[in-house]
Amino acid sequence: MAKLLLQVEECKKEKFDIISEKLFEGKIKGQEVFLLAAAYGYKYKKRLPLTGKKADLSRKEYLRDSDWALISAIVYSTVETKEELKSLDSDKILSVIEEYANGGIDILFSEYENTSESQMFFEKFEADLLKMAREILGKMEGQ
């Protein structure tokens, strides 16, 4: 049966909720935190298979085209052969991305916890993103 839900480890569900409610003051939804966590996992190369009991975070349909483009790209980057790439379907892609989100949420939550105020988290977050964006644009110009 095709996967309908985005799942996380039950013991980490609270981390997703805290990031959504406290860090982003309820302005972002479960699947958006999931995507951020997965991106964190990819950035820090931390992919953890889900163990133990699982909890439902959001429904698959809530993922937009742009979200699918990102998670597909992340998952494609993990395969080595063309055949493997062509054999990926949405269920396989979601299973892999859940592992990245499982690893990424630990890092994201740790950064949040290590800053005494959310202001500090965002200052670092913003600086980090700006730095990376400049590097990306620099590379593009170099090409």
Partner 1 sequence: MRGLEKAKAESEELRDKKIKEKKVYLMKIAPIIYSWNALVSAYGLIGKISESENLPSIDDIEIIKYTLKKGKCIVCGHTISEETRIRLSKNLEQLEKAGEFAKLKSRIERKYLSFVEEIKALQGKLQSLNEEIRVLDKSISMYANEINKITDILRRYGNDEIRRLAEILPKYQSQRDNAIKTIGALEDKIKGYQKQLNDLEEALMEQLKKEEELKKLSRYIEFTQKLLKRTKEAKLSLKEDIRQKLEEKTENEFFSLMWKKDFFEKVSLDEDFDVHVYNFLGMDVVGELSGGERKVLTIAFALALHDVAGSKSPLVIDRPLTNISGELPTKKVIEMLSQIANEKQIIVFLTPNEANDEMRKLLVKDASNILTVSNKDGTNATLTSTQEV
Footprint on this chain of partner 1 (rule: CB under 8 A) = 23-25, 27-28, 32, 35-36, 38-40, 42-43, 65-66, 68-70, 72-74, 76-77, 82, 85-86, 88-90, 93, 122, 125-126, 129-130, 132-134, 136-137, 140
Q: Report, in Å, the least distance between residue 69 CB and partner 1.
A: 4
Which of 76/114 has CB closer to partner 1?
Answer: 76
Which of 10/16 has CB closer to partner 1?
Answer: 16
Per DSSP, the three-state class of 57 is strand
Largest distance between two CA atoms of the chain: 48
Q: Report, in Å, the least distance between residue 52 CB and partner 1.
A: 26
Token reading at 48: 């953890």
Q: Which of 76, 83, 117, 111 is nearest to 97 (CA)?
A: 76
Please give the backbone phi and psi of residue 47, each rounded to the nearest 5 degrees, phi first.
-115, 115
